[in-house]
Structure 1
């Protein structure tokens, strides 16, 4: 690909305004993407980041303003027009057909043909050339159904699909939200290869460290307006956070003063299989006390999901026992465990946390159908349910602030805030939180972290599952590291570095004499 010969931006947005009724999602926003660069767009959930890029991608018509590509003003009636202009978008929630193969998804709508038939050989050759150029391996599994792929591989399919369609400018919408740390590093390598080849990238994110690491420039949006654009190598996390939320953000955690109470949850010799009947949890033992946060770290896919599903009643145990305050709950249903005081923030908000077509009021009812004050026998108190939904929306700053809005109309981060709020406000005795800050902005992360610490300090037992090592270290009183279905070790997070935790996540145990016993549940 020839290098650009002038300083004409790959993409330029001028005075873009987009309204949804009385809500101004973008307010006279200017944005310029230099050729062969990575330009990050950061901001709180609901700041207008994705809306702005959907204007560029032809999903939304701007009410005001101009979109220019390579210096030429363009009008896009649909994404097809944007794709024709060389623009591709990797959506936060992948736009793939689960029951179709990788190859079918990549060429869908752009199938090469010969004599009126799809030219399968040409399609495979073109996909292979793209994979060879950028180090993808999806061409080795072109006949595999997408539903059988991990999230990281699905993302690669999305990128290859956009490149297959001729994209010169790629929009990445929260691309790291569902990736493990190792997959994030792989994505950044791909982004480097793309820009080295002359392509231009927009990187929508709320993760400030990643924006500074991957981008050349960073534009900050707040309440639909562009606050400013800075060079990535001349800014700091504190400056970006201040621009995002309009105030100082606290990154340091105050040390706790009180000690944990009695054992709330005990897990003894638990084994669990996945949907294929393959053992994913193999003889795990641990206990969590009142007023304690037990963090579980590990690369996703090492049994964390299956373990917490056995605790919350989403999955049966093959062997072992689970007890809540000394009572055996191994055989209880999910509903019975909710009624026993267990709240659960699931790792997949779209499939397990929300019904997308339901309003937030109806979603606030999920899990509360038999719990007072929302239910009285066979009757539901919709006023109480509505009041609860309104309270969650207000307390957790869900945008738009409308409990009658459908879940699918919210950004991913605002969906997450609503799910977290609904579960934390159940007044549980045990909270199981899987990736509670996945996809939310730094201001919301700060708020959710503070709420988790408040619940711990109020005596709630908390299990925190996260692939973010900094989050586990900041919040946990004790940290368990899970590898291939077993706990490698349980340690005091203050006594280990992130690098040492990373080694443990690869299966290496630290031989330290002060390591806390798995079944003690004692003070950190």
Structure 2
């Protein structure tokens, strides 16, 4: 008997048919992948199952009985847990308080904190229950989402891009956990764009395209290439990276230090590196080791306690983010919804937020709305962003499509230096290849690019030189030809310091 079955499930919005007559069946003790491009309808389908949104038509069966799931609380009462792609955490509350909101009332926070520590350490996803969410990196927030689902011991676990900001070691540990709870009879619906993960973990695959089921298969019969063809309808090309012709130093960081602003922050200690015109430098590392603080310093959001940043030989210390953007420094933050874009603003308005000067969207203090809409339209077209248009609110886009729009918005400004954190987070395999090729092409056209990512494959695809951040310190920056994934993986635990 299937643990979950949906029959002819349809969700229609005024401007789009998100799901069209979808059928899906997941058995107890099965890990079932749902695969599709950004905007294919995966997240909408899961939100209907979890009670976040109501279906237009169709039926959901839970343990062979039709159910009308009207809220996440009702879903959790049935035994359904969900890890969202966009985090559903209250930033001003602690990890324990956020977890308590997911559980029946009357929980003791002290007892719950102990349980969170036990579960997080058992599953290899350590997190301090007393930390506030606003202090957590993206990777740490992902851990909170996963832990607070696992603490409920669900009968069905829905995971929407759960490994997007986890390191390879953390992914391996998570897979061990998922296999363990599968063996205990839990059904798992797993959404990911990482085809190798699906083949390694999942039993069956259902493919969505434009809101409809276009294929089903068992994973043992498939390869990454065959899954990609099922998903996007054709083969995708791996990025082509010509040899770099590095020019002058565009950005140099000299003995940069920053004291943590609170007990849970990361202090940066004497960071030094250079970024040259025409090259891509990649920074690897487990989330929460100072990457966010480094980005804030480079973007001009905070000033260092010691050290200096130079722009073509001229000091930037004292210059804020507006002046640095005017110089040609563009920035893709790791947090796309909240920092990278404002949810309730339209795509046109979100374009104005960062491209007003570089794209000429403001003149004499007045907005050029038509020019701003045209700019947003170019961004939508350049990365095939699935949306109803430039007037659409950022929150209406799927996570991957919003990521594509933010990437396009920064690239369309013809940056001199681009700082890019987690560039392909939540993006499907075809779009990820396009983004990576765009970064390579941008560098080879004369831009200096810094890519910060937890995806080692991504960094080795695009980088010319690569280093690692650990506990606020930076490893030596090595040419790609003189290192490998194994060495960088070891360095992500700080082992370069012991070797030195």
The answer, yes or no, to whether TM exceeds 0.5 is yes
Question: Taking structure 1 as reference, are residues 221 and 487 closer, same or farther at Cα in structure 2, changes over 3 Å only?
Answer: same
5 Å-filtered alignment, 1:337-348, equals: 337-348=324-335
Per the TM alignment, residue 200 of structure 1 is displaced from its structure 2 partner at its CA by: 0.6
Aligned to 1:195: 182
Residues 1:262 and 2:237 are matched in the alignment? no
Question: Taking structure 1 as reference, are residues 452 and 77 closer, same or farther at Cα in structure 2, changes over 3 Å only?
Answer: same
- Which runs of 5 or more structure 2 residues have no equivalent in the other structure? none
Aligned to 1:294: 281
Residues 1:271 and 2:264 are matched in the alignment? no
How far does the alpha carbon of each residue in 1:292-336 deviate from its partner, in whole angstroms, 9 at most, with x for none?
Answer: 111112222222222232222122112222111222222211100
Distance 1:190 1:404 in 2: 42
Distance 1:126 1:259 in 2: 53
Per the TM alignment, residue 470 of structure 1 is displaced from its structure 2 partner at its CA by: 0.8
Residues 1:442 and 2:429 are matched in the alignment? yes
Aligned to 2:27: 34
Question: Taking structure 1 as reference, are residues 166 and 450 closer, same or farther at Cα in structure 2, changes over 3 Å only?
Answer: closer
Per the TM alignment, residue 143 of structure 1 is displaced from its structure 2 partner at its CA by: 5.5
Distance 2:168 2:201 in 1: 14
- Which runs of 5 or more structure 1 residues have no equivalent in the other structure? 1-7, 113-117, 513-524
Aligned to 1:64: 57
Per the TM alignment, residue 85 of structure 1 is displaced from its structure 2 partner at its CA by: 2.7
5 Å-filtered alignment, 1:196-275, equals: 196-251=183-238, 253-257=239-243, 259-275=245-261
How far does the alpha carbon of each residue in 1:152-208 deviate from its partner, in whole angstroms, 9 at most, with x for none?
Answer: 565555455446666311111111123233332232222122112111111111111
2:5, 2:60 within 8 Å by CA — same for their partners in 1? yes
Distance 1:108 1:194 in 2: 23
Aligned to 1:23: 16
Distance 1:358 1:92 in 2: 20
Q: Give the match's secondary structure for 2:370.
A: helix
How far does the alpha carbon of each residue in 1:97-122 deviate from its partner, in whole angstroms, 9 at most, with x for none?
Answer: 3444444433437545xxxxx3639x
2:120, 2:127 within 8 Å by CA — same for their partners in 1? no
Distance 1:141 1:255 in 2: 41
Aligned to 1:120: 108
Per the TM alignment, residue 383 of structure 1 is displaced from its structure 2 partner at its CA by: 0.8
Distance 1:86 1:18 in 2: 23
Aligned to 2:68: 75
Aligned to 2:365: 378
Q: Give the match's secondary structure for 1:509.
A: helix
Distance 1:272 1:355 in 2: 28
1:152, 1:183 within 8 Å by CA — same for their partners in 2? no
1:310, 1:317 within 8 Å by CA — same for their partners in 2? yes
Distance 1:458 1:185 in 2: 38
Residues 1:54 and 2:47 are matched in the alignment? yes
Question: Taking structure 1 as reference, are residues 274 and 424 closer, same or farther at Cα in structure 2, changes over 3 Å only?
Answer: farther
Distance 1:172 1:279 in 2: 29
> TM-score when scaled to structure 1?
0.87
How far does the alpha carbon of each residue in 1:480-501 deviate from its partner, in whole angstroms, 9 at most, with x for none?
Answer: 2223333322222133221111
Matching residue within 60, 70, 93 for 2:86: 93
Q: Give the match's secondary structure for 1:352.
A: coil
Question: Taking structure 1 as reference, are residues 408 and 285 closer, same or farther at Cα in structure 2, changes over 3 Å only?
Answer: same
1:92, 1:174 within 8 Å by CA — same for their partners in 2? yes
5 Å-filtered alignment, 1:315-464, equals: 315-371=302-358, 373-464=360-451
Per the TM alignment, residue 279 of structure 1 is displaced from its structure 2 partner at its CA by: 6.4
Distance 1:469 1:373 in 2: 36
Distance 2:441 2:116 in 1: 53
1:68, 1:74 within 8 Å by CA — same for their partners in 2? yes
Q: CA RMSD in A?
A: 2.9
Distance 1:374 1:129 in 2: 48
Per the TM alignment, residue 93 of structure 1 is displaced from its structure 2 partner at its CA by: 2.6
Question: Taking structure 1 as reference, are residues 141 and 410 closer, same or farther at Cα in structure 2, changes over 3 Å only?
Answer: same
Per the TM alignment, residue 365 of structure 1 is displaced from its structure 2 partner at its CA by: 0.4
Q: Give the match's secondary structure for 1:94.
A: coil
2:358, 2:413 within 8 Å by CA — same for their partners in 1? no
Question: Taking structure 1 as reference, are residues 486 and 138 closer, same or farther at Cα in structure 2, changes over 3 Å only?
Answer: closer
Distance 1:434 1:263 in 2: 21
> TM-score when scaled to structure 2?
0.91
Question: Taking structure 1 as reference, are residues 119 and 19 closer, same or farther at Cα in structure 2, changes over 3 Å only?
Answer: closer
Per the TM alignment, residue 83 of structure 1 is displaced from its structure 2 partner at its CA by: 2.8
Distance 2:442 2:145 in 1: 39
Distance 1:461 1:119 in 2: 51
Q: Give the match's secondary structure for 1:428.
A: coil
2:273, 2:477 within 8 Å by CA — same for their partners in 1? no
Question: Taking structure 1 as reference, are residues 411 and 107 closer, same or farther at Cα in structure 2, changes over 3 Å only?
Answer: same
Distance 2:185 2:313 in 1: 62
Per the TM alignment, residue 340 of structure 1 is displaced from its structure 2 partner at its CA by: 0.4
1:94, 1:154 within 8 Å by CA — same for their partners in 2? yes
